[in-house]
């Protein structure tokens, strides 16, 4: 299991994010961050922090980590829970990390953003 807790910006809000390679999907606490584009989905159940949640919507978000912008889709959830006394606002799962080339370096307890940095381009 590899996971890192880090502060990021999502839709202009500073939030606490959990980057978790054991979770396939990404989740956002619906009362914490609003998106301008959400879509109702067929729905499914998931258990997080020992609680069962019914997932009914997926939204698109504009995010930024260490000054690097990226977009992602995430499912809305009532709550994610706390880790080490920190309330988690967003869980970024393995699919989003793979799509955005964000890697977890568990030995250094840091994120490897090399792939995300490659996505930047310079206008000539």
Full set of structural domains in the chain with CATH: 3-118 (2.40.70.10)
Classify residue 99 by its DSSP letter.
H
Mean pLDDT across the stretch 72-100?
Answer: 94
Considering the chain, what percentage of its residues have pLDDT values greater than 90?
69
Instruction: Decide if 18 contacts 82 (C-beta within 8 A).
Output: no
Q: Where are the beta strands (DSSP E) in the chain?
A: 3-10, 13-20, 27-29, 37-48, 51-65, 68-77, 82-83, 86-87, 90-92, 103-105, 110-112
pLDDT value of position 120:
60
- SS3 assignment, position 95: helix
Q: What is the pLDDT of residue 57?
A: 95
This prediction's pTM: 0.89
């Amino acid at each position: 299991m590899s996971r890192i807790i880090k502060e990021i910006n999502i839709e202009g809000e500073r939030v606490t994010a959990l980057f978790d390679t054991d979770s396939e999907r990404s989740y956002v606490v619906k009362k914490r961050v609003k998106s301008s584009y959400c879509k109702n989905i067929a729905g499914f159940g998931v258990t997080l922090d020992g609680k069962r949640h019914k997932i009914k919507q997926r939204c698109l978000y504009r995010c930024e980590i260490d000054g690097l912008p990226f977009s992602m889709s995430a499912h809305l959830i009532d709550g994610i829970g706390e880790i080490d006394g920190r309330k988690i606002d967003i869980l970024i799962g393995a699919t989003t990390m793979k799509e955005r080339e964000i890697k977890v370096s568990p030995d250094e307890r840091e994120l490897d953003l090399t792939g995300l940095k490659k996505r930047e381009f310079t206008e000539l």
